[in-house]
Amino acid sequence: MTKENLLLTFNAGSSTVKIGLFETDGQQARRIGKGLIDFRRQPLTFHLSEGPAVFDLTLKTDAGEQLHAVVDETFGILGDHFNMAGLSAIGHRVVHGGDIFTGPALLDENSIRDIDALTALAPLHQPQALRLIRAVQHLRPKLRQTASFDTAFHATQSDLVRRFALPRALHDQGIKRYGFHGLSYAFIAGEFARRMPEAASRKTVVAHLGSGASLCALDAGESRDCSMGFSTLEGVPMATRCGAIDPGVLLHLLGPKGRTLKNLEDMLYYHSGLLGVSGISADTRDLLKDDRREAREAVDLFCLRIAGEIGRMASTLGGLDNLVFTAGIGEHQAEIRAEISARLGWLGLTIDADANDRNATVISGANSSITVLVIPTDEEQVIADEAMSVLARET
């Protein structure tokens, strides 16, 4: 590998970091490897894929308040397989860009300070990204870093869609719908347009279904609505997050029930959703294999709310031509897709059972009024591409 043609991406979640390794030629970024660090596992393990080879390597360091040691050891491991001397930049996923960042940005002291100021809006995800940014800054102070924002893709939404029915002063203070999973939706919009340009120019709902789940309404590839709003809690039920909830429930729990704010936050983020309803598992794969009523009810609620949200998105768009499933559940779990689709039969949507079972790209039935597709997402590719665009702009 020649000098300075390696680009890394850090996709930080609340408890994991996905690492993408890309070879660049100054114009494009081509993936050559990927890694994962799961901070919920002890000892920490770095899962690395290099082409067909897969490695699970135990890290000697622990994740503390700072991630300097973890990043330093990770760089050392990567150096055994890739030319880290040729590392030209690192691109980061940052969940919240607020109204400040409507596109990717070069990270300097000013932009890092602005990202930090948004931490209160994404308290679980923003700190993890900042720890990674600062660890790299400490270890490689001259290495260029960029940020790609999950909220940026949704900047095309109208002020009306983004507004809550709250006093206007709160909207002006930033209490509004921002939308998330924007990197995934950006990839799907581009990939759909590449594969089927005419279809992609029409009204489309994308269902990003994973442990975090949301839906996005696209018109000609631009975001018009998103099920997630002010926070990553809103919208449909998720693995452990509640989705939309009557705020009166929260007032009741904080008031008469005497819950603390911390206790309530922990319940909403970590003990609700599929796990909360079933009391069994946060994973739909486990629930689909379980015969207990609670497991079936959790799956049914998940699909019911998703189908309902698709109907709401169709209202925003003024119609619906395409439905795209993506992310872990959306790409791989035919039974979930089938149940959601069955609830949308009133729209004239049908699916081909055989195509659905094969995870084919087009799974809609021959007479379906809506084209239903399965398209794998790739957030890391978007981060890499956006990093390249920022670096080209700054050169």
Please enumerate in sequence order all residues whose Cβ is within 8 A of that of 47, keeping only pairs 6 or more positions apart, or say none. 35, 36, 37, 38, 54, 55, 56, 57
Mean pLDDT of 207-235: 96
Q: Which residue, among 266, 269, 175, 181, has the nearest Cα to 228 in the 3D structure?
A: 181
Residue 92, pLDDT above cutoff 60: yes
Q: 89, exposed or middle or buried, with CB in 10 Å at 0-12, 13-18, 19+?
A: buried
| Per-residue confidence (pLDDT) for residue 330, from 0 to 100 | 97
Residue 151, pLDDT above cutoff 60: yes
- Is the pLDDT higher at 292 or at 78? 292
| Per-residue confidence (pLDDT) for residue 64, from 0 to 100 | 63
Contact yes or no for 23/30 (Cβ under 8 A) = yes
Mean pLDDT of 294-304: 98
Domain at 6-149: CATH code: 3.30.420.40
Q: Global pTM? A: 0.93
Are 6-149 and 197-374 in the same CATH fold? yes
Element (H, E) at 292: none
pLDDT in tens, 31-53: 998 888 877 777 878 888 877 77
Instruction: Parse the chain into domains and list their residue ranges.
Output: 6-149, 197-374
pLDDT in tens, 118-128: 998 888 789 88
Mean pLDDT of 111-134: 91
Residue 4, pLDDT above cutoff 50: yes
Residue 333 structure tokens: 């779990």
| Per-residue confidence (pLDDT) for residue 394, from 0 to 100 | 75
Mean pLDDT of 179-199: 97
What percent of the chain has a predicted confidence (pLDDT) above 70? 97
Instruction: Read off the pLDDT band of 395 (50, 70, 90).
Output: low
Specify whether the backbone of 71 is left (phi greater than 0), alpha (psi in -120 to 50) or beta.
alpha
What percent of the chain has a predicted confidence (pLDDT) above 90? 79
pLDDT in tens, 311-327: 999 999 999 999 999 99
Instruction: Read off the pLDDT band of 21 (50, 70, 90).
Output: very high
Distance CA 65, CA 299 (A): 36
Mean pLDDT of 74-85: 84
The residues carrying an active-site annotation are: 150
| Per-residue confidence (pLDDT) for residue 292, from 0 to 100 | 97
- Is the pLDDT higher at 134 or at 4? 134
pLDDT in tens, 237-252: 999 999 999 999 999 9
Contact yes or no for 165/196 (Cβ under 8 A) = no
| Per-residue confidence (pLDDT) for residue 2, from 0 to 100 | 43
Architecture of domain 197-374: 2-Layer Sandwich (3.30)
State the chain's mean pLDDT as an integer.
92
Distance CA 184, CA 330 (A): 12
- Phi, psi torsion values for 149, nearest 5 degrees: -110, 130
pLDDT in tens, 345-369: 999 999 999 999 999 999 999 999 9
- Is the pLDDT higher at 81 or at 109? 109
Instruction: Read off the pLDDT band of 91 (50, 70, 90).
Output: very high
Instruction: Read off the pLDDT band of 195 (50, 70, 90).
Output: very high
Residue 98, pLDDT above cutoff 90: yes
